[in-house]
Structure 1
Amino acid sequence: MEQDVAALSRRRFPVFTSERGGTASLVTGATGFFGAALVAALLERSADEVVCLVRAPDEERARKRLLTHLDRHVPQVRGQFGRLTALAGDVTDEHLGLSGAALTALTARIGRIFHAAADVNGSLPYAALRAGNVRATLHLCDLAARSGADLHHISTTAARTDAADGIPLEHLPSGYARSKWMAEQAVAAYRRSLPAARVLIHQLGALSAHTASGVSNPADFRWLFLRACLDLRAAPLMEGGLCWLPVDCAAAAVAAVALAPDADAAGLPDPLPVTATGAVPWHDVFSWLRQDGHRLGVVSPDGWWRRLDARLRTGQDEHLLALAALAPALPAARARGDAAVWRALAALAAPETPFDRPRLRRSLRALACAP
């Protein structure tokens, strides 16, 4: 990391010399959980074309992969898929996996870049995530510099640190958090190099299922934990709560800020925290589950982990194995969102949507977790 920080201080970005003419939005990571919701939000809030860079051998298979993913996650915008363009590419490549002609055409076509692609893995070291999270971000900064497009970098509260200077390794325990922090430093270096560019970092907190479809991220630690509670028919005694923001609410916030012509006058902070302002106490979450017919006993945290270990010795449930592969710690509420930020976002027609019992029920139904 130290070498990467030093390299950023010496890095030079391309200089944009032409008038910006493009209006399309470029989205990376559109086949991810948040990326799908973001594409839907852009289609709903703008009449502009949305171009998605998709990892695939060719454009036909890129489009098929993109539409299959969107059809599952955001079927409510199926009628607007005609405004989507899929490009087969790779954000880890210096030229984004595009030919010279295709990259030139893309540069002239776009007015906004939403970089949501990332390698999300809490167990891998920084070195293994550097290409997908740090170098890829630099490549999108280069594209923004060449095109003059606004750059919206999708980050995470995991990269948040109170350290005033230096490399805050003690505040960033995982390789993933360190790689996202370094990606933010890359964006900051780009902003310093081209101060006239419009650049904003969006730090997302924990995201729950889409309000309309009920589709969630099945690999999310909190979902893995809740599903394990249902399988074990046991809920541990826990303090704190579930600090979750519906993914479509977060996507609407990012899209609203990017598309509003007067968003800069709203006084929003940078990085922009896009996180829930409140946490639902775990006691309430477990009560909702019981009221909906799920059998949940009460055990100590140590007893809960022992039950999980015992279950794993008798079966190979995929989601239980995924949970056991993570650190033996129960999910805790993250830093809460800023109410003033959400008031400003509400003025841009992107109010906060609270996570509640009906949304939990819909999500469990989508995951086929019936009582």
Structure 2
Amino acid sequence: MIFEHLAHIVAAPDVHLTDEPRHILLTDATGFLGSFLLRDLLRNTSARIHCLVRGTDASDARARLTTAATWYETGADLDFDRIDIAVGDLAEPALGRDEGAFDELARVVDVVHHTGASVNWLYPYEALRPANIAGTEEVLRLAARHRTIPVHYISSTGVHAQEPAEGRRIAVDDPIGPPELLSNGYRQAKRIAEGIIDIARSRGIPVSVYRVDVVSGDQVNGACQKQDFVWLSIRGMLEVGVAPAGISGFFHPTPVDYVSAAIRWLSSRIAGVGDTFNLSNPHRLHFTEIVERLRALGHTLVDLDPAEWSQSVCGSIRRTRCCRCSTSSKPRSRASGAIPTLTRTRRRWLRPAATSTAPGQRGTCWRGTWNSSPTRATSRSPAGK
């Protein structure tokens, strides 16, 4: 991969590292992981958090932030005396800020947590490039503009081309890419972004990379996102009452509160700046196990040929709302940490069928027993985890 256009991203002579940042820039504080990371940064630092949020104006952006915190139940820790709303957009030059506002952020910020991305497993690379590639380039340009400051970049274990064997953790040194071997545009964009980061590192910009996988609900309250492909597939099954027969897909769920806490702790250590970390789960949760668990809760799920199942779910969605629907019959994902044991829960809309109502707008939320310590591919573990 050649990135001649990155010649302008060169580290400033003054490299600024601190374990007590006064100002932190956080992208995508309204996203799933971003909302939890904002909560953990507010809890564990005294810094002022500058949140890059899309909106028509500051009031609209603040409302979006509050809505997300309410949805994910992270709002109890919102302290707007320590939060600055930076209205912007990753997909735009200068992060959607005017040059003066962009320059001011570059002058005051001590560290950047770049959590933001356009996450979609169906869109091609070209559709994701503005936010996921150009946005990362703009973050690096900001970090190198006046003082060279650390960037903590959220990547994906999807950059690894090969799935590890059952019981084996994905290691940082396992091969990644090349992009043409990765199965979708999102994985390709993350791999290409890591290539850009390698160039930035070679030029003296301290960038840490955290490869996470499919992130599941909070261990305490079960709150999770509603737009993830895995959860949408489960919701589709429950709404239509059918399941794909003989499906072989699997994934590796990791609770969002663990992922956020690990990133927050690792990013606080000056000694680890510039490293790559895999938040990796050696165990798989197979799609058939999910179907069995739902049936155990009392839901009736009729087995259908995968192609028929896909058509049935898509037809149900089209009858209720306009959507873009995948015809793929193999839901598959990957993730990190250790697997929660799925247990009977009455939270949200995943509940025993005898007491359930029709599935609502809330995402699937499973509460489970945390039966082994989530790990990462380094020799040290996050404190308290």
- TM-score, normalised to structure 2, is 0.76
1:7 matched to 2:4? The reply is yes
Residue type of the partner of 1:206?
V
Aligned to 1:329: 329
The answer to whether the 8 Å contact 1:32/1:117 transfers is yes
Tell whether 2:49 aligns with 1:41: no
Q: For the Cα contact (< 8 Å) 2:317–2:323, is it kept in 1?
A: no
The alignment-based identity, stated in percent, is 24
Identify the match of residue 273 of structure 1 among 256, 274, 278: 278
Deviation at 1:222, TM superposition (A): 0.9
Counterpart of 2:289 in structure 1 is 284
Q: Unaligned stretches of 5+ in structure 1?
A: 338-351
Match of residue 73 from structure 1: 72
Query: Any gaps of 5 or more consecutive residues in structure 2?
Result: 163-172, 351-360, 366-385
Match in the other structure for 2:347 = 362
**SS of the residue aligned with 2:220?**
coil
Q: Which has the higher helix share?
A: 1
Higher mean displacement: 232-241 or 174-183:
232-241
Equivalent in 256, 264, 283 of residue 247 of structure 1: 256
Q: Does 1:174 align with 2:171?
A: no
Q: Deviations over 1:11-69 (max 9, x none)?
A: 23244244748622211111222211221221222222211011223222222221222
User: Structure 2 CA distance, aligned partners of 1:358 and 1:127?
Assistant: 40
Residues 144 and 292 of structure 1: CA distance in aligned 2, closer, same or farther (over 3 Å): same
Counterpart mapping for 1:48-59 below 5 A = 48-59=47-58
d(CA) in 2 for partners of 1:59, 1:311:
39
2:314 aligned with 1:309 = no
Residue 204 of structure 1 aligns with which residue? 212
**Residue 194 (structure 2) aligns with:** 184
Where do residues 76-95 of structure 1 align in structure 2 (5 Å cutoff)?
77-95=76-94
Q: Residues of 1 paired with 2:174 and 2:333: CA distance? A: 24
Secondary structure at the residue paired with 2:158? helix
Cα deviation for residue 138 of structure 1 reads 0.7
Q: Deviations over 1:105-154 (max 9, x none)?
A: 32232221111211223333322222211111111011111232211111
1:296 maps onto 2:301 in alignment: yes
Q: CA separation of 1:203/1:234 partners in 2, compared to 1, >3 Å: closer, same or farther? A: same
> How far does the alpha carbon of each residue in 1:222-276 deviate from its partner, in whole angstroms, 9 at most, with x for none?
1111112222323333346441111221111111110134546xxxx94321233
Change (3 A) 1:319 1:159: farther
Q: Is the 8 A contact 2:160 2:177 kept in 1?
A: no
Corresponding residue for residue 344 of structure 1: none
Deviation at 1:312, TM superposition (A): 4.7
Secondary structure at 1:80's aligned position in 2?
coil
2:379 is matched with: none
Give the residue type in structure 2 aligned to 1:175: G
- Do 1:312 and 1:320's aligned partners in 2 also have CA atoms closer than 8 Å? no
Q: Are 1:25 and 2:24 an aligned pair? A: yes
1: CA distance between counterparts of 2:184 and 2:87?
31
Query: In structure 1, what residue type is equivalent to 2:4?
Result: A
Question: CA separation of 1:101/1:18 partners in 2, compared to 1, >3 Å: closer, same or farther?
Answer: farther
For residue 164 of structure 1, report the CA deviation from its aligned partner: 10
Give me the whole-angstrom Cα distance separating, in 2, the residues matched to 1:308 and 1:167.
29
Pick aligned residue for 1:16 from 5, 12, 24? 12
Deviation at 1:92, TM superposition (A): 3.0
Stretch moving more, 252-261 or 100-109 = 100-109
What is the CA-CA distance between 1:104 and the residue it aligns to?
Answer: 3.2
* In 1, Cα distance between equivalents of 2:247 and 2:316: 26
Amino acid at match of 2:154: I
Partners of 2:272 and 2:348 in 1: CA distance: 32
- 1:258 and 2:267 are equivalent in the alignment: yes
| Equivalent position SS for 1:26 | strand
Whole-Å separation in 2 of the counterparts to 1:357 and 1:166: 31
- Cα distance between partner residues in 2 of 1:219 and 1:320: 15
Cα RMSD for the two superposed structures: 3.3
Q: Residue 236 of structure 2 contacts residue 313 of structure 2 at CA under 8 Å; is this kept in 1?
A: no
1:257 maps to amino acid: L
- The one-letter amino acid of 1:156's match is S
Q: Does structure 1 residue 99 correspond to structure 2 residue 104? A: no
* Counterparts of 2:58 and 2:68, CA distance in 1: 15
Counterpart contact for 1:156–1:203, Cα < 8 Å: yes
